[in-house]
Amino acid sequence: MLKLLNWVPLLPFFGFLILTLSSQGFSRLLAPWVGIGSVGISALLVFLIGFEFQHGPMQPYRLVMGSWIAIDGLSIPFGLYLDALSMTMLYVVTGIGLLIHVYSAEFMECDPGYPRFFAYMNLFVSAMLVLVLADNLVLLYLGWEGVGLGSYLLIGFWYEDRDNGYAARKAFVMTRIGDTALALGLLLLYTQLHTFDIQSLMLQAAHQWTPGALIAIVSASLLLGGAVGKSAQLPLQTWLPDAMAGPTPVSALIHAATMVTAGVYLIARTHELFILAPTVQFAVAMIGVVTLLISGCSAIVQTDIKRILAYSTISQIGYMFLALGVGAWSSAIFHLLTHAFFKALLFLAGGAVIFCVHHEHNIFKMGGLRKTMPLTFWSFMIGSAALSALPFTSGFYSKHEILLAAFDNSSVLWAAGCLGAVITGIYSFRLVFVVFFGSQSPVVEKKFGRFMSTPLILLSILALFGGMLHIPLDSVFPAVFYPNHEHPLVSAITVAAPLLGLLIAVLFYLNGTVSAQHLANFKWVEPIRQFLLTGWGIDSLYDSLLVQPFKLIAQHNKNDAIDRPYLGIAWLSRKLHCMASASQTGRVRWYAGSMALGAVVVIAIGLLS
Amino acid sequence: MEQGLLLSAMLFALGLLGVLVRRNLIMILMSLEVMLNATGLAFVVAGSRWGQADGQIMFLLILALAAAEVGVGLGLALHIFHRFATLDADSINEMQG
């Protein structure tokens, strides 16, 4: 069964090819079958492979699909590498991917670009599978760029709207900054260690470099740059909220469950390198903490349902970075897994709300949806509970692990993480209370059917009980030493933090004991709200710091000296053209005369020479 | 011998002059005929000088060419007259750069 591993990324790719190459009318009928079928079979394969893998010796398995680049001394194969880490990622990508594909079959049904949607989704899933299965950094980079392409295509899926195209380009360019760092990083690793194979790279690095060596720090920072761009962490996080311009299933699959966690996967995959560079590892933790606080605060004031979820995604990935930074590798992957469950659930439920209230995104124009949409309400409730890590939901287990690991490392990191948990509680239940409680109720125009409700139910179950899953990552990561004497007060505060957030949300948005309206009356509140609403003004900061100066330079540089000769050539040929064109008078006699003159000249030359 | 070539050259020059100075399309076509015949005459004269039949064969070919040319040319002239109601070559100058 393990031999069939190569079909896991290939099947969605074939799905993409079939959907792209077949004609419009044909593929419209075919689209859901091919789109869901390819991912479905590949998910089935993953589960069979996973069963065999976990009941086997848990040895890493390698499969070479063929040679990609083979130049003198350098050979890069299409090599797949399966260990517990990539197995976990396979479960996430194909399992969640399948549920989201099924959901999209109904969600996107009336869209004219239905086949195109499934083609792009299949392309994305295939690239993501290549990314997590790659055994060398170049193949990983291929998948890394492939998911970037898929993300770009799907954010700009409704390309008729200029804003969507802008959002797609923004996401592409912002992640490209990180990707450049990643490319430099892997080339640097190659020049130092003469191989692209991840496992031997890590082995040699640990062998040859001393901890804290400059080369280790530089290469780890470059890889971190790539991870920061892809995972939308500070300072490259501004693309993710805009990426919500894409269809909601896309946000669920790419911008919540899979692609944005690729950075976490990359750091976990190359964790030996980060252990060799403790400063960079600490930077990972700091980036995570700062990002989770900043984006959490932004999430509190957003009014667009999808933007709230986007900021919350950035914040939760901040937790994963925090876990990576404090060396709790498996906790980070565990949080990645549970986050994929509950965030995909939240996005799909949010999509169902948007679907039913006729594409309204503003949460304050919703309200009282609890009675009209009970299934969506309960899924959203479960998702929010897991997101804010209320006890006994899946998010609780993973976040608790992360925060305790952070406490071992530094109490400041832990305190910031707990503050973040309070904020998470506030914004997630603010969302629930505003959308589903209250009196005002918009007209629910449509009902959705089985294709959309089944994924919601399955994901709800996973989001509730996903914390019980035991992922056997001990074979991949170095054992983390957890102190036995767990501080009871620390544990208590960690558990209580989200509850405090919930309480605040209840007071503000359910009870009305403290009204947010009342708070808005203070003069100093509004500027802060605006500041947070724009994501701490980072977009305008980049605009004035980078975009405007660049435009200014470009403006000045538009007519430089080098252009002159080329402009001269253009001028000369235009003049020649005018002259030649003037000789074409349209008069027959003029032509006959010129021919006679020409003949005389030619004959004269012939006679006289 | 020389007289023949001289006559042919004069005819050719007259024909060319006609093509260049006449404005009526029919007259231009007729002048072209004169030029063709001048060439034919030159061939015949040259053929008789070398005592070979090639010159006369060439003249037959030129006759066929001239017939074809006149057929096409008159057809075009007819069409132009239908379309522009004039045969003045100078006033039909729409195809200019």
CB pairs under 8 A between A and B: 32
Q: What is the pLDDT of residues A65-83, one digit of tens each?
A: 888 888 887 888 888 888 8
| Least Cα separation, residue B72 to chain A (angstroms) | 16
Cβ of residue A603 closer than 8 Å to a chain B Cβ? no
Asked if the model's pLDDT at residue A287 lies above 80, the reply is yes
Asked if the model's pLDDT at residue A481 lies above 70, the reply is no
Share of chain A above pLDDT 90, in %: 23
- pLDDT confidence of A517, banded at 50, 70, 90? low
Q: What angle do CA A383, A385, A391 make, to 5 degrees?
A: 135
**Tokens representing residue A366 in the block:** 């919703």
Q: What is the pLDDT of residues A248-262, one digit of tens each?
A: 999 898 888 888 899
**Tokens representing residue A213 in the block:** 């060596």
Asked if the model's pLDDT at residue A391 lies above 70, the reply is yes
Q: Beta A74-82 vs A61-71: how paired, if at all? A: antiparallel
**Tokens representing residue B36 in the block:** 């063709």
Which among B24, B28, B86, B93 is the top mutation candidate for probing chain A, defined by the most A β-carbons within 10 Å of its own β-carbon?
A: B93
Residue of A nearest to B18 (CA): A589
Q: Within 13 Å, how many C-alpha atoms sit on residue A328's CB side?
A: 25
The residues that bridge with A77 in the sheet, in sequence order, are A67
**CA separation for the pair A532, A516 (Å, rounded):** 15
Judge: B20–A583 Cβ closer than 8 Å, yes or no.
Answer: no
Residues of chain B in contact with residue A592, where contact means CB-CB under 8 angstroms, are: 19-20
Q: Where are the alpha helices (DSSP H) in B1-97?
A: 2-21, 25-50, 54-84
- pLDDT confidence of A519, banded at 50, 70, 90? low
Mean pLDDT score of chain A = 86
**Tokens representing residue B30 in the block:** 């007729």
Judge: A596–B95 Cβ closer than 8 Å, yes or no.
Answer: no
**CA separation for the pair A249, A456 (Å, rounded):** 12
Asked if the model's pLDDT at residue A474 lies above 80, the reply is no
pLDDT at A573: 96
Residues of chain A in contact with residue B93, where contact means CB-CB under 8 angstroms, are: 585-587
DSSP state of B64: H
Q: Which of residues 9-48 of B touch A (CB under 8 A)?
A: 16, 19-21, 23, 28
Cβ of residue A579 closer than 8 Å to a chain B Cβ? no
Ordered domains of chain B (ranges, CATH): 2-84 (1.10.287.3510)
Give CA torsion, residues A597, A599, A603, A608, to 10 deg: 30
* Closest C-alpha among B34, B22, B32 to residue B89: B22
CA distances from A279 to A182, A285, A329, B52, B54 (A): 18, 10, 17, 105, 101
DSSP state of A134: B
From the list A581, A583, A585, the residue facing B93 with the nearest CB is: A585
Cβ of residue A374 closer than 8 Å to a chain B Cβ? no
Asked if the model's pLDDT at residue A316 lies above 70, the reply is yes
- pLDDT confidence of A442, banded at 50, 70, 90? low
Tell me if A38 sits within 8 A of A65, measured CB to CB: no
Q: Which of A478-487, A541-550, A575-584, B54-63 has the lowest mean pLDDT?
A: A478-487
pLDDT at A22: 80
Asked if the model's pLDDT at residue A524 lies above 80, the reply is no
Judge: B93–A589 Cβ closer than 8 Å, yes or no.
Answer: no
| Least Cα separation, residue A571 to chain B (angstroms) | 19
What does the pLDDT average to over A136-146?
91
Asked if the model's pLDDT at residue A441 lies above 70, the reply is no
Asked if the model's pLDDT at residue A25 lies above 70, the reply is no
From the list B20, B21, B96, the residue facing A586 with the nearest CB is: B96
- pLDDT confidence of A511, banded at 50, 70, 90? confident
| Least Cα separation, residue A552 to chain B (angstroms) | 42
| Least Cα separation, residue A581 to chain B (angstroms) | 5
pLDDT at A142: 92
Q: Which residue has the higher pLDDT, A532 or A337?
A: A337
Buried b (16+ CB within 10 A) or exposed e, A527-556: eeeeebbbbbebbeeeeeeeeeeeeeeeee
**CA separation for the pair A108, B57 (Å, rounded):** 81
Asked if the model's pLDDT at residue A315 lies above 80, the reply is yes
Cβ of residue A576 closer than 8 Å to a chain B Cβ? no
- pLDDT confidence of A516, banded at 50, 70, 90? low
- Mean pLDDT is highest, among A46-60, A282-296, A443-457, for A282-296
How many other C-beta atoms lie within 10 A of the C-beta of residue B96?
12
Task: Map tokens 């609780």 to a residue.
Answer: A396
pLDDT at A514: 66
Buried b (16+ CB within 10 A) or exposed e, B7-23: ebeebbeebbebbeebe
pLDDT at A520: 66
Judge: A587–B19 Cβ closer than 8 Å, yes or no.
Answer: no
Which among B16, B25, B88 is the top mutation candidate for probing chain A, defined by the most A β-carbons within 10 Å of its own β-carbon?
A: B16
Q: What is the pLDDT of residues A203-262, one digit of tens each?
A: 888 888 888 888 889 999 999 999 998 988 888 888 888 888 888 999 898 888 888 899
Omega cis (within 30) before A235: yes
- Classified as helix, coil or strand, A67 is strand
Asked if the model's pLDDT at residue A555 lies above 90, the reply is no
Q: Where are the alpha helices (DSSP H) in A437-474?
A: 450-465
**Tokens representing residue A562 in the block:** 């080098």
pLDDT at B72: 95
Residues 6 or more apart from A273 whose CB is under 8 A from it?
A201, A202, A205, A216, A219, A220, A223
What does the pLDDT average to over A350-379?
82
Q: Which residue has the higher pLDDT, A113 or A78?
A: A78
Residue of B nearest to A583 (CA): B97
Buried b (16+ CB within 10 A) or exposed e, A183-195: bbbbeebbebbeb
Residues of chain A in contact with residue B90, where contact means CB-CB under 8 angstroms, are: 587, 589
pLDDT at A483: 55
CA A40 to chain centre: 22
Share of chain A above pLDDT 70, in %: 95
Asked if the model's pLDDT at residue A27 lies above 70, the reply is no
What does the pLDDT average to over A343-366?
84
What does the pLDDT average to over A344-361?
85
pLDDT at A480: 64
Buried b (16+ CB within 10 A) or exposed e, A406-424: bbbbeeebbbbbbbbbbbb
Name the stretches of chain B with pLDDT < 50: none
Residue of B nearest to A585 (CA): B96
From the list A583, A587, A596, the residue facing B90 with the nearest CB is: A587
The residues that bridge with A14 in the sheet, in sequence order, are none
Tell me if B93 sits within 8 A of A585, measured CB to CB: yes
Tell me if A236 sits within 8 A of A174, measured CB to CB: yes
Q: Which residue has the higher pLDDT, A30 or A500?
A: A500
What does the pLDDT average to over A509-516?
69
- Classified as helix, coil or strand, A543 is helix
Tell me if A312 sits within 8 A of A339, measured CB to CB: no
DSSP state of A135: S
Asked if the model's pLDDT at residue A588 lies above 70, the reply is yes
From the list B20, B96, B97, the residue facing A589 with the nearest CB is: B20
